[in-house]
Chains A and B, each alone.
Chain A
Amino acid sequence: MGVSEQARPPVIATRRSLWQCFRDALAPILASKVALVGLGLVGFWVFVAIFAPLISPYGPLEQDPEAMNLGPSAEHPLGADHLGRDLWARLIYGARTILVLAPLSVLCALAIGTTLGLIGGYFGGWIDEIVMRILDAIMAFPVILLYLIIIVTLGPSAINVVIAITIAGAPGIARLVRSLTLDIRTREYIAAAELRGENPFYIMFVEILPNARGPIIVDAMLRIGYAVFAIGTLGFLGLGLPPPSPDWGSMVCKGRHYIWLSPWAVLWPSLAISSLVIGLNLFADGLREETMRYQ
């Protein structure tokens, strides 16, 4: 008893405070101006999405017959669409949907892709061969084709959009994770864990995965950008969320018919998608540069 208590290292000296952990995690972001700009753009949309009801006096479906197709005014800061719905309100409520759906679909893809990649990379052999063959086949599809046929079969809805993006995204992640796993598998600590007789799934998820997290996180950031793009495109093609939900892509699609009267209904959602995607890309780029530098 006494021996083991002595052997335990003093807790306070090694354990960092929560704030320190937070600051360490933030350090690469703060160090890179590019990442900061990206974080700012993304942060802006997250902020307006969270506080949407407080920011805009209108709801996304409220109609003002006097403001139809009008440009920016004091009442409607960004103008109103063909049904007199406030564009700013629709934009920020649309940010809510897209900021839930995009990360959600990437998370699903991450969960599936990581698992498959770990299994393929760690076990190797015929399991690896089969898994990778199938994933290669999926990756051979142009993504938009995959989205189209999946959504066409399942019907347009938020969940099906998530499913489509998950199926299209998982193989890429699996490939990345597999290559990282193949590298990490040769390290001594994995051999040590195997020698201890650890469960292969313990090794995969507790030993390998945390050590592969850097590139995976950067990749996931980029993928959220693609997902935003994809959701917008699907919305534009009429395969995204069913109307009248405020979806950026379908806003463009609807506004397009009235573009001769007022280009605003198309301009703002397009800008919103661009800024969010640029923000995510810059954030990922900055993050990658910084993490590379430390390695």
Chain B
Amino acid sequence: MLLTMFIVSIIVFGITEIAPGNVARKILGAFATPEQEESFRRQLGLDHPLYVRYLNLLIGSDWRAERFVGMPLERIKRPGTEFYEWWAMDEDGTPIRWKLEGEDLIALRLQPDGTVIKSIDNGRWQTDESDVSTFWGIDMHDRAILWEKGSGQTYWLRTKAGGFWVEKASGAKKYIPLQKGIVRGDPGISVQTGRPVAETLFRRLQNSAILAAIAFVIVMPLALVLGLIAGLNEGKAIDRILSIGSLAGTSTPEFATGIFLILIFATWLKLVPGATVFTSAKAIFEKPEMLVLPVLTLTLIELGYVLRITRASMVEVMGTAYIRTAFLKGLPYWRIVFKHALRNALMAPITVIMLHVNWLMGGLVVVEAIFGFPGLGNYLYKSGLYKDIFAIEAVALVMVFLAVGTQLVADIIYTFLNPRIRYA
């Protein structure tokens, strides 16, 4: 499993970052100049060689930056806010960052009460033989930077308010965006929003998990029971209806199901809202009726598949010799079904259900896109549209990890259900 995840991470990284040039173009818009693009790429650390970027993604870049800065770097929560920031730790233990004003290096020292004390800190310049003064430090945007005195370098900064770009003087020659790496729970900063990916990701994952769990709890018993009913009545009218219904359900694209449910229940009948709007983090509990349509859509998609497997498995078991023996012994019908057939018949569907998590996630992406549900799938979709590469990588790896993990669990459960299988 670890090996699989390792290969997966290489594949994800390879697909998303082999051609990063157009990332800049996508974010900056069509009117960006080549200088702006170049500056943007450098600030994101996209000018580093591939293997360095891969390591950044996986195990972070702070340890690499630490060697240059010569001080321990730490990600600390700024007192009084909920933002995490990177600071270098000075010898006396105060967090310190720098900025460049003209030719002067300004040290910013963070005090325990959250205030920052500024002081001129020109003593840190290191001058080499050719009389060039340089300094490695941490700037105010969580990056390790190599400053050069009087180099006349400029960079482009997107102003928070207008979203347009201004050119600013700075002596920054090299950037290393600081991150802890995905293994240590920090996949970087979202290119689109400028906020840490992990934060958004975690919230989205929660929302998706709630949605998927509700759908799962509704679908599985329903599908198993209906499948058993269909399997026991093989060839009768009820079996035909259920089989055709499940075939139609699985063959209708998720997006079509979702849209028609919106049309019927939200537009015509006006029973439930047709889109999910989250005004607060707890909205999911305050307005549970928003979840009705997404859950219903997921249910309809998933129901048919599990139902068919259950039906086929039940039909097979009911045709076996030991069931016929039970009948010949004159056991009552329900006793045969529940005591003899059920456990064997449920084996196939339960493994399929667990392996089905992959499929469920695919459904989630589409359903969340339709209803605007702020879940993992929607996050992936939106960051895909904006080419927010760090977010894509993080979501992709989390999704694959969940899928691989559930498959492992499925294997383990299967050994409990089926005593004939033993893993050495």
Task: Mark A residues whose CB is within 8 Å of B.
Answer: 133-134, 136-138, 140-145, 148-153, 225, 229, 232-233, 236-239, 249, 252-253, 256, 259-260, 263, 266-267, 269-270, 273-274, 277-278, 281-282
Contacts and interface: CB of A to CB of B under 8 A. Distances in A.
Contact of B16 (A144, A153, A225, A238): A153
Contact of B392 (A149, A233, A253, A270): A149
Interface string B365-395: 1100100000000001100110100001000
A136 B267 CA distance: 44
A236 B361 contact: no
Contact of B255 (A151, A233, A281): A233
Contact of B263 (A145, A150, A225, A263): A263
Question: Main SS of chain B's interface residues?
Answer: helix
Interface in B1-33: 3-4, 7-8, 11-12, 15-16, 18-19
A281 B252 CA distance: 12
28 contacts: A133-B7, A137-B11, A141-B8, A141-B403, A142-B365, A142-B400, A144-B365, A144-B366, A145-B380, A145-B399, A149-B15, A149-B396, A150-B15, A151-B384, A152-B392, A153-B16, A153-B19, A225-B251, A233-B255, A253-B255, A259-B267, A260-B267, A266-B256, A266-B259, A270-B253, A270-B256, A273-B253, A282-B247
Contacts of A273: 252-253, 256
B327 interface: no
In the A-B complex, the 7 residue pairs with the smallest Cβ-Cβ separation, listed nearest first, are A270-B256, A137-B7, A144-B362, A142-B361, A152-B384, A277-B251, A236-B255
Nearest to B9: A137
B351 interface: no
A282 B248 CA distance: 11
A225 B253 CA distance: 11
Contacts of A266: 256, 259-260, 263
Contacts of B362: 142-145
A141 B3 CA distance: 14
A239 to B, nearest CB: 8
Nearest to A263: B263
Nearest to B17: A153
B253 A233 contact: yes
Nearest to A232: B253
Question: Main SS of chain A's interface residues?
Answer: helix
Contacts of B16: 149, 152-153
Interface of B: 3-4, 7-8, 11-12, 15-16, 18-19, 247-248, 251-256, 259-260, 262-263, 267, 358-359, 361-362, 365-366, 369, 380-381, 384-385, 387, 392, 396, 399-400, 403-404, 407
B4 A137 contact: yes
A237 B399 contact: no
Given A140-B404, A233-B253, A236-B366, A153 B381 contact: no
Contacts of A260: 267
Contact of B259 (A142, A143, A256, A274): A256
A143 B359 CA distance: 8
Contact of B251 (A149, A253, A256, A278): A278
Given A252-B255, A274-B251, A136 B4 contact: yes
Contacts of B365: 142, 144-145, 148
B248 A274 contact: yes
Contacts of A133: 3-4, 7
Nearest to B257: A270
Nearest to B20: A153
Given A239-B384, A270-B259, 20 more contacts: A137-B11, A141-B11, A141-B358, A141-B403, A142-B361, A143-B362, A144-B366, A145-B362, A149-B384, A151-B384, A232-B253, A237-B369, A238-B385, A259-B263, A270-B253, A270-B256, A274-B253, A277-B251, A278-B251, A281-B251
A239 B7 CA distance: 26
Contact of A137 (B8, B251, B361, B385): B8
B260 to A, nearest CB: 7
Nearest to B395: A145
Contacts of A143: 358, 362
A113 to B, nearest CB: 17
Contacts of B3: 133
A148 B255 contact: no
B366 to A, nearest CB: 6
Contacts of A256: 259
Contacts of B384: 148-149, 151-152, 239
A267 B259 CA distance: 9
B400 A281 contact: no
B4 A144 contact: no
Nearest to A155: B22
Given A137-B7, A270-B252, A270-B253, A148 B381 contact: yes
Contacts of B267: 259-260
Contacts of B256: 252, 266, 269-270, 273-274
A137 B380 CA distance: 19
Contacts of B387: 152
B359 A142 contact: yes
Contacts of A253: 255
Q: Which residue among B18, B260, B384 has the maximum number of chain A CB atoms within 10 Å of its CB?
A: B384
Contacts of B252: 270, 273-274
A152 B4 CA distance: 23
Nearest to A149: B15
B157 to A, nearest CB: 26
Nearest to B262: A259
B400 A237 contact: no
Contacts of A277: 251
A31 B70 CA distance: 79
A94 B325 CA distance: 55
A153 B380 contact: no
A149 B12 contact: yes
A152 B392 CA distance: 10
Contacts of B369: 237
Contacts of B399: 141-142, 145
